[in-house]
Structure 1
């Protein structure tokens, strides 16, 4: 039984849950030949864990409950953790929350790694019950615990999740979120895995951008792009970073820099035949040119973007480009064409999944302005008189 238990635990550690289940079944059958109830309970506990690991949560839960009924000597904290995991697997998140919280309360203070693991699980349960604030608290607590346990990678990922759900909740102030982002950024610098480090820098950058902290976002995206080299080089990863950098430079009104980033990103997406992403870059290029008052270049890139979005059937992209084309034609003095594009934008908006009244009204207001401008600047009608011959 001892040999089988050791082998089963190793199989679970190496993510071979099916092999672990077979081994723990054998160990449990052997334990039935012994009179020691404690050994039987331990084997039944392991068997329950293995059933949960292979996705047979109901069977696993039955095993765990039986160990409790038989007076198992297994630690309550681990038992509650496994019961919570079983409920989690069955999507019974309210029960899962209850048992993860029980497990957390039962772990000893020095078992920070186990408590942090339970907090992470608890956080994801809260996301499934629609409680982003509670999820953020759980992930934040996990991050602090992982730091105490010297688990830098886990701590950084936990704080990233905390930030994500803080932003989804109305409980936290901007300064609260920025504090956690700053802590996460500090941990990023200590990570030695370049793939994970690059991913975290990108995610943190996106959160800074969401908070309109574009300078901080730019620095994060630069760090992420610098990691897209050597063995970690990926054309798509680099294209994403270039696109992000172009977007934040647009937001910072640094349009010349934005042009360089978006041009390179658009070329890369084109080589990858990712037309939707390429369309987004082309649209941003057009916007940058429009802000530099180079309306002919803006028109060119908006038209290129529209072709890409039409090919992909992307209605959201299409109405945005049509709105941009309307504004560009208006600036070029082509009022009739501007009106036509604004009408087209409204028509496509109506067919898309976008339901924002604010966005619809924005286009309607631009259309109204264009029509009124045309009326104000229309030449007066010529008056003709009839004459007769004498």
Structure 2
């Protein structure tokens, strides 16, 4: 998926609201929020929560750039607003309702004409604390999963009594998946044979939350009948005031971003590093796999079947061949992602000592050496052109972030290992 318009949620919204979807002037928005302490860990208690809107009616390389992110609200104060976030969102929701039902007359500078523009908020983005504040579903303790709700086989640790979710979501995996039969990595001795409950429709969820008062109606209480037993709703989110909110296939997205740590530096790649890095990224991009298979077949036909010869011609010629092939094709025939990779990355890279990816922290060897936690070891499984599989173990020496700023504004994090 190279753009949100490729997603099932976007296409589902098109089906539910065809008139809105048929007008290319109409705008789709995403709402993002995350809190931080502006005075740092050692400052006085103070919380700041920016609310940012992002329009998605832009090419992939533009819709997530800073100049197209609109800071609509900043909630600041000595205390976290938590469930009372809806009080601050009320003016924004009123404007979103007006944009949906009435729209605004906008001037098009390109055509020198006016048009009627409508807009819709199609989802929110945030981490788990943000999700709780925006959606109204508490993720703490029993019934913490917002997908399974009251149909989740969670358990408590025998001695610590903490809630455990280990292996509880294997029911979403295909029947033949190896993790379902894994009796060691999850709950020992347990094979998962259950079937996940189907996705609840927006109408059903709306019926459920309609029994819960909104914060504006009942600002003091966050505990309601059945809380912790059959549900974990702390409020009816103000976003349910949007008449189309129940029609959304995916109302909330969880964000698990990469996060850099340690002292940052910059350096320039050598020609050899540049070629090997470009080749690695290109061969690890699923969208480029058909090109790679075609090139390998061509190499076998013209060079021979020797693995040494094929590897040599791939290293020396594949990146240049891919660039020439994609850049000479019609724009409509090449994905923007592939065209960006073909245009080449910058020789200038950023380097880090630590990096957090999907909740896992990785460190270079010199950063971790001598510390209690060793985070520099990695394992990679490699598949050769002949179907053999080899597992490599390495030590992280450098963490690099390369960028394709020319067309796609894409950044890729790589580990240089030995």
Structure richer in helix, relative to its length: 1
Q: TM-score, normalised by structure 2?
A: 0.19
Q: TM-score, normalised by structure 1?
A: 0.19
Higher relative contact order (CA 8 A, sep 6+): 2
Structure richer in strand, relative to its length: 2
Computing the radius of gyration over CA atoms, which structure comes out larger, 1 or 2? 1
